[in-house]
């Protein structure tokens, strides 16, 4: 048999492989900018602590101010003794002393908590009473005062130096003077007691030059 001729089979050309599309490179996102610090708001200046108010109970020199206020609060003319008055800090056992030979009064001012204003006025007026007695009174007027107060006229005028004097004529005089100078209704005399209004006015007119 004749040979069978097989016609050539045309093979379609094979397309070259198509490369997959290449995505463009992705750039990393830019790094966030560092936060910009806001300028700090200016702080208000720190106020200095307030200076202590100069009062009668605290602050430099309060003893002097408090004593002067007590003196100024007394009846006009009560301090007309010719004695100088000084004020210093508290002293144990005594609030005021009158130095008769030196014509001066020394007040030992305590704190407002330990010495109320009225007590300070009382002590101040009492010491002024001693000063007035020393500068204005005589043996004759002292005798007349004893009689007016009902105190035996031979009672020694003074007690011991530096002692509490409420039971002596000198102390009684100082207490009655203090009662008048303070405008008070009582005193601390232990020898003749309080003085009523009419009697106080009469004693002041006779012995205090009021």
**Distance, C-alpha 46 to centroid of its chain:** 25
- Give pLDDT tens digits for 147-202: 999 999 999 999 887 778 999 999 999 999 999 999 999 999 999 989 999 999 99
- Asked if residue 91 has pLDDT above 80, the reply is yes
At residue 53, the pLDDT reads: 41
Spell out the domain ranges in the chain.
62-207
Q: CB–CB of 75/183 below 8 Å?
A: yes
Residue 50 has pLDDT above 50, yes or no: no
- pLDDT top residue among 179 and 9: 179
% of the chain at pLDDT higher than 90: 70
- Distances in Å between the Cα of 67 and the Cα atoms of 38, 76, 131 are 59, 16, 17
Two tokens at 64? Answer: 């002097």
């Amino acid at each position: 048999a004749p040979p069978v001729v097989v016609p050539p089979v045309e093979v379609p050309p094979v397309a070259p492989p198509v490369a997959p599309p290449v995505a463009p490179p992705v750039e990393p996102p830019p790094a966030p900018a560092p936060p910009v610090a806001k300028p700090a708001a200016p702080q208000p200046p720190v106020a200095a602590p307030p200076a202590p108010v100069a009062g009668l109970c605290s602050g430099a020199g309060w003893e002097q101010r408090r004593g002067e206020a007590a003196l100024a609060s007394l009846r006009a003319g009560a301090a007309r003794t010719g004695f100088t008055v000084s004020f210093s800090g508290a002293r144990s056992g005594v609030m005021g002393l009158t130095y008769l030979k030196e014509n001066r009064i020394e007040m030992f001012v305590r704190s407002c908590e330990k010495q109320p204003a009225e007590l300070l006025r009382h002590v101040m007026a009492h010491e002024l009473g001693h000063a007035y007695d020393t500068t204005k009174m005589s043996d004759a007027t002292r005798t007349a005062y004893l009689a007016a107060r009902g105190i035996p006229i031979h009672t020694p005028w003074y007690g011991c130096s530096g002692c509490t004097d409420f039971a002596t004529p000198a102390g009684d005089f100082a207490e009655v003077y203090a009662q008048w100078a303070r405008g008070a209704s009582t005193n601390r005399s232990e020898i003749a007691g309080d003085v009523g209004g009419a009697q106080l006015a009469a004693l002041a007119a006779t012995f205090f030059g009021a």
